Structure 1
């Protein structure tokens, strides 16, 4: 490698190490259950997005095997070439029935869905209004689009309206938000967002990545807590890689909007289709989530118990009201020490640092699942409280 480039890379890595922002890949042998195995050690898994435990479900495994036997292991080409299997069409129809929308499109990940859709929907002549704590994929999509980017303070609808009011009338406007914020565990104010998008003639897109499969009628997402509200939202994006236990994502909305994205969304057009086995598992996951409410309710109750226990112990958990519970400690160094001590105590929970979260708000991001038992969570909270006191996070 050219010495100038190698020196540059090493300098940047050294800077990350000095500021406690350096990251390393850590091998995990098994992680689809409530307990995982890392470096031969059993740890309680409080770091996973496998919220309903479906990643290890035997029915999903069998569905993936059947689809692989029928269609092979690869997507073979983009969907617009020869990679569009009957499974795509079948599952997209199921998504429409589940989400009560006209048309759906399966894409390869939540990141490519947001980056591709936003950069196709708007351009340099338009304005995007985005919650300050939206996921990086939303931010990257806006940057790639070239549109004017207006960030409103987190869940501050007065600030959003002020920005909408001051925008040029002739410009097209897109409002985009997570429904559940992945690092904070709180919820967007969807009713107010719908009101503002109608008042100012904007398009509204929501990202249900951390709500899909859990909230709303049949687990369709937070927007579907009120079906009429869901119908007022123009574009719904969601993933199959979290509560659904699979991989991939979907975008759904009006027929004309989805047809437009099929023809303009570069991350869809120029990407090989998902493997058939993944599609088979997705189809089964949708069936399970729509019918089985037990795990959804258990997850919500586990989240409530865990939040309450940590808050009563004195931890700062922000405005979390969900299964995602941050413990905000402040500095990068404090978050790393906390995470390492948790691992030593038998708990897998990861330190989240900038740029994933704002400066001086480094945290441990805990995520409970439906698989955790009351004993698991009691055992964990006792150790978390003990470490919190040792580290001076709580008194």
Structure 2
């Protein structure tokens, strides 16, 4: 093909030139398009700015505090001249900053590099990836496991592969956003049942009886409320109506149940759930990564068809190694999970006695302090910061309107003294803001 010719056209005035570029687009046309694009962008910016102003006026603006230390029960925050006690991290076992976990990541950096620059099936699978998948399978008592960059990706990659337009998914109305988004990607008929409502779930199972497959999808523990799915009864209904059960265990794996095996273990029904998705980014080292564990046939199909797995870079070796070491620590010593439970019960008992409205399961480390008003929750959290306690106010759209709260998260790394200091601060500010008497 001949090279494009650069041409010049004389404007009738004789004073200006239009220059046709090498692709045949005149600068005049390009200038017109640029102006149109600028006008469009300006209009979009006005819409965005208006929306941002509305968020600020509603008191639901979410500021990001900058942490200048490693994650832990005590942290340093930019602009604060003192160490703060951290009560809003998913670091349930305190392993994010554990010396053995950090050392494992450092060693993997030397032996396996910073990253693979590839997806798994091309040249992105190392021995440590398969070792971690095998370890997770053993931990959960399942046939096989597949790793993802996050549990959000695991949820995004599951439903489309497993379900077709001949199937149905029955999802709890308060399931995590990643489950909702994953379900949207599949062609199955979508049904939402009322939160933890077994009667409504059974009705929907009856209504979908003629379909090829039905999958019941639920969080094991619901992250905003800290309440636990009625998993035994859900499995009983699944058996009765020949349905599959899927649970997201992000807020259970590693610390919930006697040995950290999650919601199944908490209810004593190990092995009854068909598919489990969970994360490495909370109790298991706190870095990143997620996974699906279940029947080998399903895992094999996910390796062949799951889009987030096929088209995303594999987990970096230091992340794999740190999660693997965290899992070793949990499997070797279940006293870590015992400390989470005892700390949780200590905090909850004192807060209830003080008069706070506490939501959630009494045995779970998510302890929502219900306040209702978004501005109140934000101000409460700011005042807690001034007393050396790091917590965050949660409001719409993270939680429903009128359900604003401070979601306290207890860690096994907290000492009893730290738990008591947090309660004292809550009492002081609660009285200042007329939340408690």
> Which of the numbers 25, 38, 62 marks the counterpart of 1:23?
62
Q: Secondary structure of 2:185's match? A: helix
State the shift of 1:197 in Å. 1.1
State the shift of 1:94 in Å. 1.1
Between the aligned partners of 2:361 and 2:248, the Cα distance in structure 1 is 17
Change (3 A) 1:80 1:13: same
1:258 has 2:321 as partner: no
Deviates more, 1:145-154 or 1:338-347: 145-154
The runs of 5 or more residues in structure 2 that have no matched partner are: 1-37
Between the aligned partners of 1:192 and 1:167, the Cα distance in structure 2 is 19
Q: Secondary structure of 2:278's match? A: strand
Provide TM-score, normalisation by structure 2. 0.87
Question: Is the 8 Å Cα contact of residues 352 and 358 (structure 2) preserved in structure 1?
Answer: yes
Between the aligned partners of 2:390 and 2:106, the Cα distance in structure 1 is 30
State the shift of 1:55 in Å. 0.6
Question: Is the 8 Å Cα contact of residues 150 and 163 (structure 1) preserved in structure 2?
Answer: yes
Question: Per-residue CA shift, 1:47-69, capped at 9, x if unaligned?
Answer: 11111110111111111111111
Deviates more, 1:15-24 or 1:58-67: 15-24
Between the aligned partners of 1:325 and 1:185, the Cα distance in structure 2 is 6
The runs of 5 or more residues in structure 1 that have no matched partner are: none
Structure of larger gyration radius:
2
> Which of the numbers 334, 338, 341 marks the counterpart of 2:383?
341
Residue 365 of structure 1 aligns with which residue?
407
Higher relative contact order, chain-length normalized (CA < 8 Å, sep 6+): 1
State the shift of 1:26 in Å. 2.0
1:332 has 2:368 as partner: no
Deviates more, 1:353-362 or 1:44-53: 353-362
Aligned length: 394
Between the aligned partners of 1:82 and 1:203, the Cα distance in structure 2 is 34
> Which of the numbers 227, 232, 235 marks the counterpart of 2:275?
235
Question: Per-residue CA shift, 1:74-125, capped at 9, x if unaligned?
Answer: 1210001100111111111111111111111111111111121123222444
1:136 has 2:177 as partner: yes
Between the aligned partners of 2:400 and 2:70, the Cα distance in structure 1 is 28
Residue 95 of structure 1 aligns with which residue?
136
Question: Per-residue CA shift, 1:128-181, capped at 9, x if unaligned?
Answer: 211222111111111222433322222111121122222252252111111111
Residue 109 of structure 1 aligns with which residue?
150
> Which of the numbers 93, 102, 116 marks the counterpart of 1:75?
116
Q: Secondary structure of 1:55's match? A: coil
Question: Per-residue CA shift, 1:153-212, capped at 9, x if unaligned?
Answer: 221111211222222522521111111111111211111111111112211111111111
Q: Secondary structure of 1:115's match? A: helix
State the shift of 1:371 in Å. 1.3
1:273 has 2:314 as partner: yes
Q: Secondary structure of 1:327's match? A: strand
1:249 has 2:290 as partner: yes
> Which of the numbers 253, 256, 268 marks the counterpart of 1:215?
256
Question: Is the 8 Å Cα contact of residues 306 and 381 (structure 1) preserved in structure 2?
Answer: yes
Between the aligned partners of 1:242 and 1:220, the Cα distance in structure 2 is 14
